[in-house]
């Protein structure tokens, strides 16, 4: 994962020098770009010719800032765009990370992009499971104030920033001569709020040439009330299930169990969890960190987790020490890179290669972009209603192609809480799922990433498909996976 993490500084500099931008004649670039589908006079300034530390062909790759208003360059969103590797398709899949305030370049470099440079990884590799093997992917640092996106943060509502996003996206399509493409909006975590509002805003545009919304996807999403329902009320069962990994002692577990009982979380789960169809609409619940301080079971468990495991990672609770360095400087909630390893996207040579603002300091998560302080239903300055109340049902009914998925090892957004949010949402004339999700997710594809390593080590018959990995369910246009 390191751009030279364990090497001496001299060796690192030598590596950087060898993979700097090519300085050959422009004709060479034109010849290389000739087969590129989206390479035109308007887009050539966005073409990424090479990236430091990546000693392989990048393929067709673009990045830079596109203004929200083409007549005002002072506000714009930074993007990375990689067309499909292989036969072209007339669709775009938009990816957004959450936070709020975290960069979608994490998705580009560590999740679904063509290149993989994950925690603890010495150098970047090709991601054989990249989404660009299937579709054209657009990663966007959103909203204004995040990453390399420029301008004064003004975020107050999801409706407002979604309007800015769709203005940006229209301009992006105009620059890249894109029209009549299917559009899919996807993201994770706090993007569980971004995705439905952006998608609903696309429907408002009533423009099939540029906003042909065809589906949406969210992972571990904050689609409902996430202070009380999606975290506090459901964290104790997760802790109890995985305490063999988390390592809390018996007295602390007893304390957590007492909070769980006295604060009404047990009763709430008994009434609403595992009810198919739901027996009733869930009553409104909101967590106030001041008034409800004695019931803050989530933060009590969160901070105690670092005592048992100093390398605790709330996004993947099975990880143990040593703490893995991150080329993006943020391997968990701890800020850490290996010694003498600069944050990749904050390097000047990387900024220049990606046409990013050189004078802007980049960090993976650089603070809440919402400007209303602790306003809004979730106390984050976001004044909009939870997506399950209107926009998410609207997107499901309009496209009949929405996926909500959750991973069981996420401390931040437990699976039970996400399913509770779905069970409190009405779409297609019914409340929640009518039947319990039980259909297994079975992965029988061969291992692409490590197949050669297993073979060269004499373990040809050991690296089997993953088999049953979870549960899936589909009702009325909504797919669930856990």
State the CATH number of the domain containing residue 64: 3.40.50.1820
Mean pLDDT value of segment 465-480:
92
**Rounded mean pLDDT, 3-29:** 37
* Range among 18-22, 382-386, 452-456 rated most confident: 382-386
Split at pLDDT 50, 70, 90, the class of 463 is low
What is the structure's pLDDT at 7? 28
The whole-number average pLDDT for the span 331-344 is 87
Question: pLDDT tens-digit profile of 264-297?
Answer: 999 999 999 999 999 999 999 989 888 899 999 9
pLDDT band at 20 (very low <50, low <70, confident <90, very high): very low
Both structure tokens of 292: 């409800």
Cβ-count burial of 342 within 10 angstroms (0-12 exposed, 13-18 middle, 19+ buried)?
middle
Number of domains in the chain: 1
Residue 293, in any domain of the structure: no
* Residue 83 within any structural domain of the chain: yes
310 within a domain of the structure (yes/no): no
pLDDT tops 90 at residue 88: yes
Q: What is the mean pLDDT of residues 78-102?
A: 97
Question: What is the reported pLDDT for 453?
Answer: 76
Q: Is residue 146 part of a domain?
A: yes
Whether the predicted pLDDT of 11 surpasses 50: no
**Rounded mean pLDDT of 15-38?**
57
381 within domain boundaries? yes
Query: Using 50, 70 and 90 to split pLDDT, how confident is the model at 378?
Result: confident
Percent of the chain scoring above 90 in pLDDT: 79
Helix axes 415-423, 265-272, angle to 10 degrees: 60
- Average confidence score pLDDT of the chain: 91
Task: Supply the pLDDT for residue 38.
Answer: 97
Please check the confidence at residue 113 and state whether its pLDDT lies above 80.
yes
Per-residue confidence at 4, pLDDT binned at 50, 70, 90?
very low
* Number of alpha carbons in the 13 Å side-chain half-sphere of residue 3: 26
pLDDT of residue 12: 32
Q: What is the mean pLDDT of the segment spanning 109-126?
A: 93
Tell me if 413 is assigned to some domain: yes
Contact by Cβ (8 Å): 157, 151: no
Q: Please report which confidence band the pLDDT of residue 3 belongs to, taking 50, 70 and 90 as the band edges.
A: very low
Residue 174: both structure tokens together: 């105009």
pTM of the model: 0.91
What range defines the domain where residue 46 resides? 9-224+342-436
In a domain, 465, yes or no: no
- Let me know: does 432 contact 425? Beta carbons within 8 Å: yes
Largest CA-CA distance found in the chain, in angstroms, rounded: 72
Q: What tokens appear for 285 in the block?
A: 């619940």
Helix, strand and coil content of the chain, in percent to the nearest 5, comes to 30, 15, 50
Average of per-residue pLDDT across 251-273? 98
Q: Lowest-pLDDT range, 291-300, 337-346, 446-455, 466-475? A: 446-455
Sign of the Cα torsion 427, 433, 435, 441 reads positive
Q: Residue 30: is its pLDDT beyond 80?
A: no
Instruction: Write the pLDDT tens digit of every residue in 392-433.
Output: 999 999 999 999 999 999 999 999 999 999 999 999 999 999
DSSP state of 312: -
pLDDT tens digit sequence for 189-203? 999 999 999 999 999
Distance CA 67, CA 74 (A): 7
Contact 473, 439 (CB under 8 A): yes
Q: Does any domain span residue 265?
A: no
Q: Which residue has the higher pLDDT, 284 or 9?
A: 284
User: In this structure, what are the phi and psi dihedrals at residue 365, rounded to the nearest 5 degrees?
Assistant: -130, 115
Residue 282 is predicted with a pLDDT of: 96
């Amino acid at each position: 994962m390191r751009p030279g993490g364990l090497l001496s500084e001299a060796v690192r500099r030598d590596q950087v020098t060898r993979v700097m931008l090519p300085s050959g004649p422009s004709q060479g670039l034109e010849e290389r770009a000739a087969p590129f589908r989206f390479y035109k006079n308007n887009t050539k300034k966005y073409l990424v010719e090479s990236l430091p530390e990546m000693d392989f062909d990048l393929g067709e790759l673009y990045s830079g800032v596109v203004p929200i208003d083409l007549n005002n360059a002072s506000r714009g969103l930074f993007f990375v765009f990689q067309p499909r590797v292989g036969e072209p398709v007339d669709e775009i899949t938009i990816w957004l990370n959450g936070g709020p305030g975290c960069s979608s370049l994490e998705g580009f470099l560590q999740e679904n992009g063509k290149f993989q440079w994950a925690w603890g990884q010495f150098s970047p590799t090709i991601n054989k499971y990249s989404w660009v093997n299937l579709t054209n992917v657009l990663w966007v640092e959103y909203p204004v104030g995040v990453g390399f996106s420029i301008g004064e943060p003004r975020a107050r509502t999801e409706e407002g920033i979604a309007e800015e996003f769709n203005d940006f996206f229209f301009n992006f399509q105009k620059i890249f001569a894109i029209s009549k493409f299917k559009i899919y909006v996807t993201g994770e975590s706090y993007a569980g709020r971004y995705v439905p509002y952006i998608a609903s805003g696309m429907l408002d545009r009533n423009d099939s040439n540029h906003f042909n919304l065809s589906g949406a996807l969210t992972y571990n999403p904050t689609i409902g009330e996430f202070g009380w329902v999606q975290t506090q009320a459901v964290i104790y069962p997760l802790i109890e299930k995985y305490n063999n990994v988390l390592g809390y002692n018996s007295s602390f577990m007893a304390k957590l169990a007492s909070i769980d009982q006295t604060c009404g979380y047990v009763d709430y789960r008994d009434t609403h969890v595992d009810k198919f169809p739901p027996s009733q609409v869930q009553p409104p619940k909101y967590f106030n960190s001041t008034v409800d301080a004695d019931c803050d079971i989530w933060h009590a468990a969160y901070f105690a987790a670092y005592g048992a495991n100093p390398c605790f990672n709330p996004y993947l609770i099975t990880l143990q020490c040593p703490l893995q360095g991150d080329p993006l400087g943020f391997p968990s909630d701890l800020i850490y890179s290996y010694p003498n390893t600069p944050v990749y996207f904050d390097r000047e040579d990387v900024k220049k290669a990606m046409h990013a603002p050189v004078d802007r300091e980049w960090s993976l998560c650089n603070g809440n972009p919402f400007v209303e302080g602790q306003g809004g239903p979730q106390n984050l300055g976001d004044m909009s209603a939870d997506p399950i109340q209107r926009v998410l049902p609207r997107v499901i009914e309009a496209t009949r192609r929405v996926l909500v998925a959750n991973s069981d090892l996420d401390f931040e957004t437990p699976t039970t809480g996400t399913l509770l949010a779905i069970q409190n949402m009405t779409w297609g004339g019914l409340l929640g799922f009518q039947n319990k999700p039980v259909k297994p997710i079975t992965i029988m594809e061969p291992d692409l990433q490590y197949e050669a390593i297993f073979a060269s080590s004499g373990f040809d018959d050991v690296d089997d498909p993953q088999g049953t990995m979870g549960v899936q369910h589909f009702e009325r246009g909504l797919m669930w996976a856990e």
